Chains A and B, each alone.
Chain A
Amino acid sequence: MLLVKLGGSLAGQAGGQTEFHVEGRNVIEMLRNLGELCPALKPVLEKGVTVSVDGRLQREATYHPLTPDNEIFLLPRMAGG
């Protein structure tokens, strides 16, 4: 099981819940399973989020592998200048 923590607007979308335990071998599977577990999050996840895996930011869903040892944060979609 992966421990996924939510930040910012995402926790609000999830009704205030900030942590979820979900299955997933990679980022895409984790997001898909999280959307099933918390349907309120689904539209936000589909629109795009930033995924922090052990502090490394990914601005879109990828097949980046995940293990239960990873620190996983979902953060809002981010952009720079």
Chain B
Amino acid sequence: MPLDSENKTIVPTEFKTVGTRPVRPDGMDKVTGRARFGADMSAPGMLVGAILRSPHAHARIRKIDTSKAEALAGVKAVITSKDLKAQPGCDMDILVNVMARGKALYDGHAVAAVAAVDMSVARKALKLIEIDYKVLPHVTDVDEAMKPDAPVLHKHIEHDYHQDMLETADHVKGKNEKTLPPGKRPSNIAGRYQFGHGDPKKGFREADVIVEHEFKTEATHQGYIEPHACLANVSSDGWAELWVCTQGHFMVRDTCASLLGLDVSRLRVTASEIGGGFGGKTTVFIEPVALALSRKAGRPVKVVMSRDEVFRATGPTSSASMKVRIGAKRDGTFTAAEAILKYQGGAFPGSPVEMGAMTAFACYDLKDVKIVGYDVVTNRPKQAAYRAPGAPMSAFAVEGCVGELAEKLGMDAIDIRLKNAAKEGTVSSYGPTFGPVGLVETLEAAKKHKNYKVKLGKNQGRGVASGFWFNFAGQTCTTINLNIDGTLGLAVGTPDIGGSRASMCLMAAEELGIPYDQVRTIIADTSSLGYNDVTDGSRVTFASGLATIYATRDLKAKLCARAATIWGIPEEAVDWENGAARPAGANAGNFDPLTLADLAEQAAATGGPVAGHYEVNADGAGPSFATHVVDVEVDPETGATEVLRYLVVQDAGKAVHPSYVEGQFQGGAVQGIGWVLNEEYIYGEDGRLQNPGFLDYRIPVCSDVPMIDTVIVEVPNPGHPYGVRGVGETSIVPPLAAVANAVSAAMGVRATTLPMSPPKILAALNNKMRQAAD
């Protein structure tokens, strides 16, 4: 059995409650509409806030006149960037993104906001705000933005193009590239990053076959169904409350306090129920605006984004332009790999290109590997995290090349991956050596699955791809309270975006040996628990789960002490077993077991309330691998793609609630299907977003996808007492590549540009026919 390396305990392999599939505790409220989401909160005297947004992709703001809006009856406050003064130590990029100052950097960038008695008045007020813009040249494409002669967004960002041309040649070509002098100059390239080891040049010389392609992906939005919403209430004595739909209310508290110059202790933030996040709710957009409006108006202010605003002004993920090269021996052994990744992250530095670079070749054991990444700014909204940020794009490019290598070598698509798969002891392409990981197990399970044996028909193709994600842990604080009737209240500080409350209940119940429904988990506000990191990085079932297990063990120890008091024996002579305190052997005495209800009844007499706590900055989140297999059929007349079968195989370490794990697998696959086949940000010549709504930005619906088959692999993570690994992000890493490989096989043409929408597929098929005719 594997060891829990931090606590030197044995990771159990048999469970009573963990691994079962009880009904989710939040399900009834959600399906009946009783659950309170961000927009469902209200307060006496509440105003509504509305935000004026730039209609230009890039424009200098020469003057803002708010006097007419302020004079309108029913308007209680108007703010601009002057009301959000930069505080010492605040993150200026977030502040400028929240409200433009000096320049509007993208279509939809907030420039002013009003609070009024109702939305009708607020909208009229927005129309009365006069802004004098000087429109500037803009750039929205990553390759165009990298050119030396591109419109520059920020003069303080500089780059040495000369060095690039010496190193990587052709990816920054512009009209001046041959005459550029050495040295740094203003640029949209905010960073250049390199990972890898060995000597790829030597490795490519040893290769019998080399595959190389250029790939492009478009930006896609997280597509959460619930738009951003919050209710802020700043009282006249400076105390403030905020109700908000977010993945991290402690982060919201700290960021807003920093931006607004508030004491952290004066701002209490409560996380509402959340209708999806996928990473997009790990930062702030409207929250500081609502607080600033409330502070100025002296009344509660609710701000709810429209879908148009969500698309134009909250983070999609990056778009990417990539070049990948892989060499292999005739037997399929990879000899070398290289990638150049260029990600645009919108108007501010911080695209996830480093994580794209680190994950690109993480599935493979490579002696000679090099990845160079460029972080590029463009006139688009500031990107936000989206499930495994940066990884799906680079996996699309790498796994596309791996698929083509298999074809050229006449190898099975899973066998070539098995031959090169990373395993325990492999030095990863980004540096650290892997511990126990489950890529091989996912590949073997995929190969055995019935889907892999189905014979394909005309215009059909099969795609395989693997993917990797790190998984994170972080700061976590948890409390479990014994209620007077013997049931338990568990308070965690990590918003539940994927069913984590059910998993917490299961783990607490497992520890105590009691039924699942005896534990109720809530998400406590920022004044009720110590700091908790954001619900991100697939960390919650791992880290909040770990904290729940140890808080419950703390509770058990206290319960045993109470039993010892009642029985008049030493604490060491009491064990906890099957939901009750029991004498530890015959020498401890002959006493009837004391259940939770018994101990709760005597709590006052034995010392008062009983609670368990645990606080940790956890590490040990085990990385996760997945393998996806997908069959598609392409209609050569319409260019439409139908997904016929889809299989997700992923290592969960230990599936606490298997239905939720399967739900994460399926959700990742469906989002990936949307990314590869339909979804894209479309910009016009004027730099404005052309499709900011679900009618024109088409995410998959049920009728677009088959039932997603799942296989849960369980290679225990030694860093968790039950062996748990995060599962929320890895499942979106392989689908871009898996579907693209399937479509490529169906078309007989390598697909290198996403989305592979019907017009692009028809163009590829027509081009193929023309080439055949020539």
Contacts and interface: CB of A to CB of B under 8 A. Distances in A.
B470 interface: yes
B729 A81 contact: yes
A52 B431 contact: yes
10 contacts: A8-B193, A8-B358, A53-B619, A57-B472, A71-B432, A79-B385, A79-B389, A80-B472, A81-B728, A81-B729
Interface in A42-75: 52-60, 62, 64, 71, 73, 75
Q: Which of A11, A58, A81 has the most CB of B within 10 A?
A: A81
Contacts of A73: 431-432
A32 interface: no
B301 interface: no
A35 interface: no
Interface stretch (B476-484, B532-540, B679-687): B532-540
A1 interface: no
Contact of A75 (B431, B620, B719): B431
B431 A80 contact: no
Interface residues of A, number: 25
Contacts of A59: 472-474, 533
Interface of B: 191-195, 222, 277-280, 282, 354-355, 357-358, 373, 385-389, 430-435, 469-474, 533, 536-539, 617, 619-621, 719, 728-729
A71 B433 contact: yes
Nearest to B6: A56
B537 A7 contact: no
Contact of B435 (A8, A55, A62, A78): A55
Contact of B620 (A5, A56, A71, A76): A56
A75 B430 contact: yes
Task: Tell me the interface secondary structure of chain A in the complex.
Answer: loop
A80 B538 contact: yes
Interface string A12-33: 1000000000000000000000
Contact of A81 (B433, B537, B621): B537
Contacts of B729: 80-81
A12 B193 contact: yes
Given A52-B432, A73-B431, A76-B193, A81 B279 contact: yes
Contact of A60 (B193, B280, B434, B617): B617
Given A8-B354, A73-B431, A80 B617 contact: no
A54 B194 CA distance: 21
B568 to A, nearest CB: 41
Given A5-B431, A57-B470, A64-B619, 17 more contacts: A8-B358, A9-B192, A11-B194, A12-B194, A53-B619, A54-B433, A59-B472, A60-B474, A60-B617, A78-B354, A78-B355, A80-B470, A80-B471, A80-B538, A81-B282, A81-B728, A81-B729
A80 B539 CA distance: 9
Contacts of A78: 354-355, 470, 472, 537
A5 B539 CA distance: 25
B387 A81 contact: yes
A8 B357 contact: yes
A59 B354 CA distance: 15
Nearest to B617: A62
A11 to B, nearest CB: 7
B389 A81 contact: yes
B537 to A, nearest CB: 3
Nearest to A78: B355
B470 to A, nearest CB: 6
A80 B195 contact: no
B572 to A, nearest CB: 29
A56 B470 CA distance: 10
B195 A7 contact: yes
Nearest to B385: A81
B387 A7 contact: no
Nearest to A81: B279
Contact of A55 (B354, B388, B433, B472): B433
B192 A12 contact: yes
Contacts of A54: 432-433, 435
* Leading 10 A-B pairs by shortest Cβ distance: A81-B279, A80-B537, A81-B385, A52-B432, A73-B431, A81-B387, A8-B193, A80-B536, A56-B619, A55-B432
Contacts of B277: 81
